Structure 1
């Protein structure tokens, strides 16, 4: 099977969160066919609920029928060398078909403005194209193994969701990881954390003809939003990190979902808003959460209605702690050497303003560098597109990195 066919078929699976089982089964079958020793596992909701990143209630954590799969290749004396993981996830975000120029789960080959071959489809960038690059990079390493005198193991993981990378289903311990998220073929050594919060405000309904008898939630929400934006601006100045100086908003907030009112002719008496706050490397989710809770409390204290009817402000979904590894870690140095050897510039490591599964590996003491094809600016977008030459380049560079790492 060619890498092109592998990526095309993965895109055809509509693996919106909770629908990964069929894609995982197909991936495991292909890994078996390609000579990998395969593993399959499901995350344990009870175990995840004990982790600070996840809801306390296991019923709120969707793990049922969401298998993750992996393939392992062993070289020389496996126990005499290191174990390197190449990781990607199978799940994708929903696609609004009306915003796409072609069906999202039908891969389409095309050409970019500069003449490069492209692949369009949901997950092409985030991250089925990168998963394909990892699989075929591992096969390239296997072809070179005898001549390169390798010892150790290479593991390719296709996990159900990037939020559930806590399990180790193997009878061995990993030593390092390359997480193939889209980084434009640049090494990322720091990833941002995120706090997910749900705000609920209660007002009082009234007929539009006598709206002064009601209590409109929208002005209260606007004051809260302004306070949060002020805090974001303050944090952009006061919280610094050398890998994030290039970003105009290094620790961004997004209020991504707002629902208020229930009828055009009624004063809106309730509002629910879901939001995400950025957490800098070196900060914790708890620390940043407290800052935004204090900003909210200041708005409440200054308003008679909110003081008597305080909003609720609770976590929801999954929290991402920030993560960072030293640029001098062997896996980072080895990747940078391989980049030069495969024609890429020796780019200094950067920080990313998104969270990633690397946080779990770093927390477990496994040095992890994020490196992959495609741009985060294409992820989650309509007509999600990746330049195929970048996937080929990622395959070559990841393979060279693995060879060098398993020779060490």
Structure 2
């Protein structure tokens, strides 16, 4: 049988960036069938997602064509006598600029136990670990089902997982899920959310030689940016969570893009800026949005120009709701049991400042924990690398965790 290393070597060869997952999806489905899985497939349902609070209201704004997710099912013992556990990973990866890589991003480069390729850490190695853990679990004396999912579009909001969460593609219920994100082999029970907002400002242009005849948008932008920075600082002090005290910035607020003006010799009369605003577990995107909208309104109220030329501050892209699961959930305890069985000491649950597909399953009532090989510090980076010994450990932990969950539930 193909080894996990061989499987991943082929898996990372697909340049499966957002919207381009079709080739890897087809390959994955075929490989699961060859390995004895019963396969299920589902497409992104843009009409369904348009009714979800995290996605655009217009179905045409949701990329859905040629985006098929795949689930492979293994029935164990008496499948109806036990629960169903989902092991999940995503196909899609972020783009890779070859100019800043020391090797071809979509060709596996092995140096001993280290694998370098786009998706090596985030998260094709984790997806492979799910496959081989399920195969190992099939050799155990347990009842139930194990499902391995490869989903599309996680990096852009989770369209594959959200579709599956809202419209179950299987003829049975799902009792719990483990998502093999790169958590450095530690259990993650809380995931931060994010609000995406776009600001538009309008000024008045004039020749740069007579700037007093114009109205530059830049001082107004500075006032807003400073007000948002102040609010972010206040939130760092007032919004608390025991799993996030270790982070130097718990709820990051980042202005990621700014475009202003049209000519060096013209007073800039327009500006567009985009923010990513962190949302703590226990908060909603709407609550945080209201706080930033109010802070913007305070700035506008103090400016005669902005009061007469109100800024636009609208959502764009996909919103990530925060998510959290109790550390006492059986699936979390099962992961910790699998860790103990493989001599991993860092079993205390933790939180992360990024979003993931776990939130979609939790919203559907499916308890979900994240656990996988590799580090988030390698995700989206040039020369993305993983120590494959972690992947092999993850296979063992996930198999033992699956056995513990199926046997005890």
**2:401 corresponds to:** 401
**1:266 corresponds to:** 266
Deviation track 1:20-72 (CA, whole Å, cap 9, x = no partner) reads 00110000010011110001111210110001111111111111111101111
**1:174 corresponds to:** 174
Q: Does 1:131 align with 2:123?
A: no
Which moved further from structure 2: 256-265 or 331-340?
A: 256-265
Q: Does 1:64 align with 2:56?
A: no
Equivalent residue runs for 1:18-33 within 5 Å: 18-33=19-34
Q: Does 1:223 align with 2:223?
A: yes
- Mapped to 2, the partners of 1:201 and 1:3 lie a distance apart of 52
SS at match of 1:208: coil
Deviation track 1:231-271 (CA, whole Å, cap 9, x = no partner) reads 11110110111111111111111211222222222222211
- Mapped to 2, the partners of 1:11 and 1:206 lie a distance apart of 52
Q: Does 1:152 align with 2:144?
A: yes
**2:55 corresponds to:** 54
Distance 1:106 1:211, change over 3 A: farther
- Mapped to 2, the partners of 1:11 and 1:265 lie a distance apart of 48
**1:121 corresponds to:** 117
SS at match of 1:400: helix
**1:114 corresponds to:** none
Q: Where do 5+ consecutive residues of structure 2 fail to align?
A: none
**1:214 corresponds to:** 214
Report the TM-score, using the length of structure 2 for normalisation: 0.95
Q: Where do 5+ consecutive residues of structure 1 fail to align?
A: 112-116
Deviation track 1:105-156 (CA, whole Å, cap 9, x = no partner) reads 1221126xxxxx21111111111111111111111112x22xxx21000000
Residue 209 of structure 1 and its aligned partner are, at CA, apart by 2.0
Contact 1:201/1:272 (<8 A) preserved: yes
Aligned residues: 399
Which moved further from structure 2: 149-158 or 267-276?
A: 267-276
- Mapped to 2, the partners of 1:206 and 1:334 lie a distance apart of 66
Equivalent residue runs for 1:1-400 within 5 Å: 1-110=2-111, 117-142=113-138, 144-145=139-140, 149-162=141-154, 163-164=158-159, 165-166=161-162, 167=164, 168-400=168-400
SS at match of 1:244: coil
- Mapped to 2, the partners of 1:122 and 1:204 lie a distance apart of 45
Residue 355 of structure 1 and its aligned partner are, at CA, apart by 1.1
Residue 8 of structure 1 and its aligned partner are, at CA, apart by 1.6
- Mapped to 1, the partners of 2:70 and 2:176 lie a distance apart of 18
Contact 1:71/1:157 (<8 A) preserved: yes
Residue 12 of structure 1 and its aligned partner are, at CA, apart by 1.2
Contact 1:337/1:346 (<8 A) preserved: no
CA RMSD of aligned residues (A): 1.1
